[in-house]
Amino acid sequence: MDVTADRAEADCEAVSEMLSRVGDKWTIQVVVSLRSGSQRFNAIKRKVDGISQQMLIRTLKALERDGMVKRTVRHSAPPQVEYALTPLGLSLSQTVRHLADWVVTHREKIERNRLQYDIHKV
Amino acid sequence: MDVTADRAEADCEAVSEMLSRVGDKWTIQVVVSLRSGSQRFNAIKRKVDGISQQMLIRTLKALERDGMVKRTVRHSAPPQVEYALTPLGLSLSQTVRHLADWVVTHREKIERNRLQYDIHKV
């Protein structure tokens, strides 16, 4: 296999991995809730309906590890921890938004297509 | 919960479900290989390196069910089956392309971020 094919394959793997990362239901909602600016843990938890403490910790850690979210500790008493999108995270959120808009626009059509397919195949 | 919140939640679920559908490694590669026009099964199989017969059948069926791919049987001897992107599939592929371009542009930075995060957390 030549270098270009190797590179294309690595890119494809990366795209696929990133799509399934950002495609995670909780990740999308956390990123969306951070679009309005830096937030404390409990404020995010209130905005993201139904997320557990454990799942929010895990989602924020994965985003921090990617460099999409920055965690800041304010040395007050008690210490306050805030989370904010980095420029990288904000840029991703804008790109994902286009795809999300596409899905919102077309989801009814896709659901109708699936229903029709299932009726014809039974 | 009010109607708007219900709707937003349904949209979020749909976006998440669709991202993980299109985020599938094989789905991306099959859609990309169909961008150049209608193809026979074996031609797609040759283009999508490493895909099994079974996985290609499953991927094409899911895309057909969504209405992204159209399957056409030509009544020759032997009958020929061709697959092509529908306008809906083509439109999705263009939107996914922007996200894919974003990932290709930023993947090295994300990999560096992860490495740095892991070094500091050990």
Question: Tell me: the pLDDT tens digits for B66-76?
Answer: 999 999 998 88
pLDDT, position A104: 83
Q: What is the distance between the alpha carbons of residues A95 and A90, in angstroms, rounded to a whole number? A: 9
Q: Give alpha helix (H) positions in chain B.
A: 3-22, 25-34, 41-47, 53-66, 87-121
In a mutagenesis test of the A interface, which of B1, B11, B19, B116 is the best target, namely the one with the most A β-carbons within 10 Å? B19
- ipTM given for this complex: 0.76
CB proximity B57 to A under 8 Å: no
Q: Give residue-wise pLDDT tens across range B31-59.
A: 888 988 999 999 999 988 889 999 999 99
- Give the list of residues 6+ apart from residue A24 with CB closer than 8 angstroms, or none: A59, B16, B20
Q: What is the distance between the alpha carbons of residues B74 and B67, in angstroms, rounded to a whole number? A: 20
Element (H, E) at A113: helix A87-121
CB proximity B114 to A under 8 Å: yes
Asked whether the predicted pLDDT for residue B7 surpasses 70, the reply is no
In the block, tokens 């999300």 appear at: A100
- Residue A55, CA distances (Å) to A16, A20, A44, A50, A62 in order: 22, 16, 12, 10, 11
Q: Which fold has domain A3-121?
A: Arc Repressor Mutant, subunit A (1.10.10)
| Residue A30 CA from chain centroid, whole number | 7
Nearest neighbour of B12 by CB, restricted to A28, A98, A118: A28
pLDDT, position B8: 63
Residues of A in contact with B85 (CB under 8 A): none
Nearest neighbour of B28 by CB, restricted to A12, A107, A113: A12
Residue B52: what are its φ and ψ, rounded to 5°? -85, 160
> Quick one: how many helices (H) and strands (E) in chain A?
5, 3
Domains of chain B, by residue range, sit at 3-121
Quote the minimal CA–CA distance from A122 to chain B in Å.
Answer: 13
Q: What pTM did the predictor assign?
A: 0.70
**Quick one: CA torsion of A17, A23, A26, A32, rounded to 10 degrees?**
120
CB proximity A85 to B under 8 Å: no
Asked whether the predicted pLDDT for residue B1 surpasses 50, the reply is no
Quote the minimal CA–CA distance from B76 to chain A in Å.
Answer: 23
Q: Which residue has the higher pLDDT, A101 or B87?
A: B87
